[in-house]
Amino acid sequence: MATTSPRSHFTCTPTCSVITADDGRATLSGNRLITTAPTGQRTEQLRTDDEARTAYRTHFGITLDVLPK
C-alpha cells in the first residue's frame, strides 16, 4: 500500500519520525509515541494532547499550539 493510498496510515494519521543521536528512532503517530532502540526494541506509549505537543517539541524541535488532525 503506497503512502498516497486513502487506506494508508500515512494519509489518515499525522506521523513524524526522526533518527535519534544513538541511531534509534522516535516516531509520533497521532498521539502514540514509538521509540525504537538501535537494537530494534520498540516501546509504544499513548500520550495526552499536552504530552504529544511536548514530544513534538522535545524530539523534533516543533512547537505547536494545537496538534495536527
Tell me the C-alpha distance between 34 and 11, whole Å: 18
Q: What is the pTM of this model?
A: 0.79
pLDDT in tens, 22-50: 999 999 998 999 999 999 999 999 989 99
Distances (CA, A) of 26 to 5, 6, 37, 57: 24, 24, 9, 12
- Is it the case that residue 1 has pLDDT exceeding 70? no
